[in-house]
Structure 1
Amino acid sequence: MKNITDTLTPLMDKFRSKTGLTDKLSVVRATSLMDHLDLHINPNLLNFTVRNVESKQTDTYPEWDNYLAYKRLKPNTTYTLTLSATNTNGVKGASARIYCEVWNNKYINKQLEQYFFDADGKKRSFTFTTPEDEGWLYDVMLYAGSMSVNEHKDFMTTYRDCKLEYGDLATPLTKVGG
């Protein structure tokens, strides 16, 4: 069974390594120093945090019902996409895609990444890097259910806590405590 020292020692060691301090820290001193730490929050490149994507049984291709979440990612740039998803009507999956369909009025159907995951409400993060500038600019697409799976029914996929940010680290939507 762990005691409080077994729990706090690794935490205090991590605090010292992050701050560059070498002396032994008390909980009181570490707490007082917290106000001086810059907890980095990347801006959200998306203009929403919640988005519904609906699929109708009567649609010609319900597996491709999607929402263009972000257009024209920069070349040679690392991004992290964070989100969670839930579905109605018993649909189990969700998906996102980093994709370039048309460039200079020419259909090119160029896929960089595709992510399939359970629509179980759990937050997930996906990191990807766009290629060097090859003349194509990729978009972020969110799909109703799992793309390419025809559910043959009406349903809604709700994406929550959506965030697209620069870099390979998923940071919170808002500043801690703010």
Structure 2
Amino acid sequence: MNKHVAIRASACPHDCPSTCALEVEIREDGRIGRVRGAADNSYTAGVICAKVARYAERAHHPDRLTVPLARTGPKGSGQFAPISWDDALDRIAQALLEAERSFGAQSVWPYYYAGTMGHVMRDGLNRLTHAKGYSRFFSTICVNPAWSGYMAGTGRLAGADPREMGRSDLVTIWGTNAVATQVNVMTHAVKAR
């Protein structure tokens, strides 16, 4: 049985506004062990969602892709072969440069918004988008009007800090299932009881 040899501080990479502070066990074999919310962080307060608590299972799953794959057969055939990271990045860069040369930088639309898109991943792509002059967008097609309306109505980039909920006389959570999707919001909301 592997014992943990160290606890490392980290942050959740998922597409979630919480960006939870984490404590990650590193086992003797160098693999990730248990993942917990950082107890000394006032927002996370030792609590994280089930998805991240089981992160080691995903990171070390035998079916997890660990190298880039290139299509070797017709689209939809499921035929792929491993390629090097350098080759994969070169192919992507070449395709982007070709699109720019042929149709202009605005022809590239780096659309994303799902999965592992925390601050580091998302903002790294934003830097590329701005540096290259690619088409601009704000979030997703469906989120943009809602966000614009929110900003017009409140003038703020964020809502109330969930840590303030414990001092509230009334907490209304509308339009979300905080128990399932925002455990840290719920952790602070129950303090208002």
TM-score, normalised with respect to structure 2: 0.21
Which structure shows the bigger proportion of residues in strand conformation?
Answer: 1
Higher relative contact order (CA 8 A, sep 6+): 1
TM-score, normalised with respect to structure 1: 0.22
Which structure shows the bigger proportion of residues in helix conformation?
Answer: 2
